[in-house]
Structure 1
Amino acid sequence: MSTSVSSPPVRLLLCDDHAVVRAGLRALLSSAEGIEVVGEAGNGEEALAMAARLRPDVVLMDLQLDDRMDGVTATRRLTSGGAAGPRVLVLTMFDTDADVTRAIEAGATGYLLKAERPDELFTAIRDAASGRTALSAPVADRLMTRLRHPRPALSAREHEILEQLARGVGNREIARTLFISEATVKTHLRRIYDKLEVETRAGAVAVAKERRLLP
């Protein structure tokens, strides 16, 4: 007579800087079969310390944490140990190209939006524990669109000028700060506008903030 052996539950660590969100997730996940919440962290530093102590299979990571360490940095440090570390599944409200790219480059196994249905979240956690990629449908669509139609990247100098624009600095002051001519500033501005598909300084700054191109 054969007996079936059930697999151990996925050990999950929550990381979100809002206690109410963590409480809601814990309550929600208590109904999920095969998932056990083993801890809650309120910031990136806590997540690193608790992951080292609790050895979770998956860390459910918010991107927007406190000023000490954001979710991308925490993800990078959690996954730096390779297979020995936990999988990181991002759960956030933000789906900009910059956020998705930074999280995946940092080593995240998946990227979910907080608008997901509970059963999709449960499935994504199990997939992440197994090493399978888990992406919200809107995020997957954005990635496919970006692969099909890649945007031209800003150069290092264009980033510097964009930062000056965000401070409200005029062309003459930008030229003096960066030790270039005003004509060169204007040339860079035209390229920035073309790459960001805008026509004004205010438009460039707005798009840069939306894409998280500014520090």
Structure 2
Amino acid sequence: MLKQQRAAHLLRRLEELYPETPIPLDHTSPYTLLIAVLLSAQCTDVRVNLVTPALFALADTPEKMMHVPVEEIRAIIRPCGLSPRKSAAISELSKILVEKHGGQVPRDFGLLEELPGVGHKTASVVMAQSFGVPAFPVDTHIHRLATRWKLTSGKNVIQTERDLKRLFPRDSWNKLHLQIIFYGREYCTARACDGKFCLLCTELFAKKPSI
């Protein structure tokens, strides 16, 4: 298959496999999603979902969180890793949201990326899942599979994001990035498949027998 044919095939098959795409991180608002995504850096969604109930019971708005001592935030989120940096970022971004944005998470990539601890991927998740703005957040699963499926030759997530946005319809991005993540976790893991064994890799790259 040519690259565009592979992309079309993946779009169709992933929709068949994952017609519903619930957001993996538990949240109740753009703010709680922002915090959950920040915590998910170098941490599993499962672990984040175990930690956030206690954190959000303590403070689930920036107005409340800005008054929580950083040490108290750090104690709760320690299981997520990188707790000194993440707790400081949560505290500081909460203050900025209150002081500069009226306590609201801004619906703007640039303003989100100005917040402490918020990179492009985190901003993209919030824009896509909280505000419905087309975005294609690229995490390690998506980067790995896009490379494995020969959709990109990008050496980093920035190039991978650009290539995927060119290949797939804009109105598919928000759902598709979750579908790829779900598939990568369930079938095409880093260890279980080297591009030859899982369902979609077989469909994309199985060699036809010679006649």
Q: Same fold (TM over 0.5)?
A: no
Question: Looking at CA atoms only, which structure, 1 or 2, has the larger radius of gyration?
Answer: 1
TM-score by length of 1: 0.22
Higher relative CO (Cα under 8 Å, sequence separation at least 6) belongs to 2
TM-score by length of 2: 0.22
The structure carrying a bigger helix percent of its residues is: 2
